[in-house]
Amino acid sequence: MNQAKRIPYGLANYGRLKRDNCYYVDKTHFIPAIEAAPYYLIFIRPRRFGKTLWLSTMEHYYDVHYRDQFDALFGDTFIGQNPTSDRNSYLVLSLNFSGVNPNIELVEASFIAHIQQKLAAFLTRYAAYFNEQEQQQILSASLMEGQLGHLFDLVEAKGLKTYLFIDEYDNFANTILTTEGEAAYWSLTHGGGFFRHFFGVLKKMTSGLTRLFITGVSPVTLDDVTSGFNIASNITLLPQFNELLGFNETELRSVLADQPAFPLSMDESLHLMTEWYNHYRFAETATTEVYNSDMVWYFILKTLAQNDLPKNLLDNNVRIDYNKLRHLMLVDKRLNGNFSRLQQIIEQGEIISPIVESFPVEQLLRPENFISLLFYFGLLSIAGTDEDELILRIPNLTVKELMYGYIREGYRDAEVFRIDFWSFARLVKEMAYQGEWRTVFEFLSEQIKAQTSIRNYLNGEKVIQGFLLAYLNVTNHFLLWSEKEMGGGFVDIYLEPFIARYKGIQFGYLLELKYIPRHEFNEIKLQEKIQEAETQLHRYIHDARITEIAQKTTLKGLALVYSGWELVYMGEI
């Protein structure tokens, strides 16, 4: 009897994945395309998207050390049945800068120690190619560049081929930028900074360095450190590599079909994963959207373990550290234009903007660069074009939930708005199970009255809509939709009861918001806005999709009218 394959959640070593009989979605058909590309490549994708596993796959394919294991490692893959002439013909040096200590006092020593450790392991692994004297010559060089120089000189003299892999090239540099500030970051990426110097050293050694593949999550460090290594090609946005990482629908269906004990149907699983984990597109002309592979494995593993939907569909490991955005949105504890742009994206779900391939740190606050950074972090994805301009859209519910959290944290850090989230979450839960919705909006209104700083930000219907979306998201009892099309119109906020996860949930809500500037408020205008909201809600409630949900829960239509920051009316139909 064939043993069931293990779910490879969190596993990034290709050899172990194969030895432990784990699932592997075959991406090896991209190897010939990589070989056809230039020799020195840079590839950027969001964190937890499979970059490290891909590097490990290439390492095992190209490393001469695994020549005798080729059939066991690749026999059932595309490349195993269609090998290239370069298979198992390289000496491989692998660096992973996520292990470098970002403490500003220790970072340079930690960086050098990492490279020296990997060099020592390289010489041990390939001892057959270097005699003791040669190994000692390399290791005894006083400087890191001297050690690398001796190594690549010997490689060239011996007619050997080397492949250098650098994973998470920007990890420690990004951490220093967000924790220590721009000056500390500048000291290692500009002028005589050791990180910039490292890439300059690599450029001088290309005669002995046959191929190079670099991965990271951001192009910021790329621009700052690689001007001294200007021979690398960035393949991040090329359409032929759109599906290099992540799973397309065909691949995902194949994985799900091989789960006979899975408690959810194929259709139900695909629907949920499409809403929560899909819609990533990394090239303008690509036609296929991909699912985040980490999120997919998380969902399958948790569902199998619990024999039901996981309690939390958002894997905490995919969260983009808020610190990496905080310094872009707050200056001296004051929210800047980038925070407003993040609000705008949340309110509208998308934005029209070019994607800038690289930019230096001093230009990070420019609007197009900030928006591009959101794309590289996986918070926005290419959705199409509008008169030849790119439309970037929030890809899925996971990212929406993350972005709502960033808005809340931004308000908190700027000391604009703070609330007792535990108490508020209890009120939202009562709204879902008991239909007690008034206390939720009364709570927010009271807090707005008490905390005057937030009032300066609540100046328009769309802004209030984004504010409510951010705070109604504190629990996951509802799926939050903004401007959802229904009944021939677009409902401002739809709190869809998450029935698949919370089988006992009783209520869902359609919210229609109306806004009256404070200087225009009067009783006649208020009644007009109430009537307008109720008319729209009546139309939405007869939508076929709403009727289907209403067979399982009670749906309430809520009319909310704001004048400035103040909630002046709330009513139910």
**Measured between alpha carbons, how far is 263 from 272 in angstroms, rounded to an integer?**
13
Q: What pLDDT does 7 receive?
A: 93
Give the range among 31-40, 194-203, 220-229 with minimum mean pLDDT.
220-229
Residue linked to tokens 């984004």: 466
Distance CA 307, CA 310 (A): 9
Instruction: Judge contact between 185 and 361, C-beta under 8 A.
Output: yes
Please give the CATH topology (third level) of the domain spanning 14-236.
Answer: Rossmann fold (3.40.50)
pLDDT at 122 over 90: yes
Domain positions in the chain are 14-236, 249-318, 320-415, 421-573
Tokens of 545: 């999709």
Q: State the burial class of residue 413 (Cβ atoms within 10 Å of its Cβ: 0-12, 13-18, 19+).
A: middle
Q: How far is CA 151 from the centre of its chain?
A: 37
Q: Mean pLDDT throughout 295-319?
A: 89
User: What integer pLDDT is reported at residue 325 of this predicted model?
Assistant: 74
264-297 confidence digits (pLDDT tens) = 999 999 999 999 999 999 999 999 999 999 999 9
Q: CA–CA distance from 172 to each of 104, 110, 111, 216 (Å)?
A: 10, 10, 9, 11
* Higher pLDDT among residues 488 and 49, named by residue: 49
> Is residue 148 scored above 50 in pLDDT?
yes
- Average pLDDT across the chain, whole number: 90
Residue 401 CA: distances (Å) to CA of 45, 276, 397, 444, 471: 20, 10, 6, 19, 10
Q: What is the architecture, at CATH level 2, of domain 320-415? A: Orthogonal Bundle (1.10)
Q: What is the model's pTM?
A: 0.92
pLDDT at 250 over 80: yes
| Cβ contact 122:94 at 8 Å | no
How many separate helices (H) and strands (E) can be counted in the chain?
24, 15
Write the Ramachandran bin of 159: left for phi over 0, alpha for psi from -120 to 50, otherwise beta.
left
**Residue 347 has what pLDDT?**
81
Res 228: pLDDT: 53
Domains 14-236 and 320-415 equal at CATH topology level: no
What confidence category does residue 112 fall into, taking pLDDT thresholds of 50, 70 and 90? very high
**In terms of C-beta distances under 8 Å and separation of at least 24 residues, what long-range contacts does 20-28 make, across chains too?**
23/255, 23/258, 24/77, 25/247, 25/251, 25/254, 25/255, 25/293, 26/77, 26/78, 27/54, 27/57, 27/244, 27/245, 28/57, 28/61, 28/74, 28/77, 28/78, 28/79, 28/80
What pLDDT shows up at residue 366? 84
Q: What percent of the chain has pLDDT over 90?
A: 65
pLDDT in tens, 478-527: 999 988 888 888 999 999 999 988 989 999 999 999 999 999 999 999 99
Residue 205's pLDDT is 83
Range from 44-53, 219-228, 325-334, 451-460 that averages highest in pLDDT? 44-53
Per-residue model confidence (pLDDT) at position 113: 93
pLDDT tens per residue, range 188-211: 888 888 888 888 888 888 888 999
Residue 71, pLDDT above cutoff 50: yes
Q: In this predicted model, what pLDDT tens digit does every residue of 375-425 receive, in sequence order?
A: 999 999 999 998 889 999 999 999 998 889 888 988 888 888 999 999 999
Give the number of other CB atoms < 10 A from CB of residue 562: 29
**Token pair recorded at residue 362:** 């001093």
Reported as a single tens digit per residue, the pLDDT across 525-573 is 999 999 999 999 999 988 887 888 878 899 999 999 999 999 999 999 8
Instruction: Single out the residue of 334, 253, 569, 296 nearest to residue 441, CA to CA.
Output: 569
Confidence of residue 1 (pLDDT cuts 50, 70, 90): very low
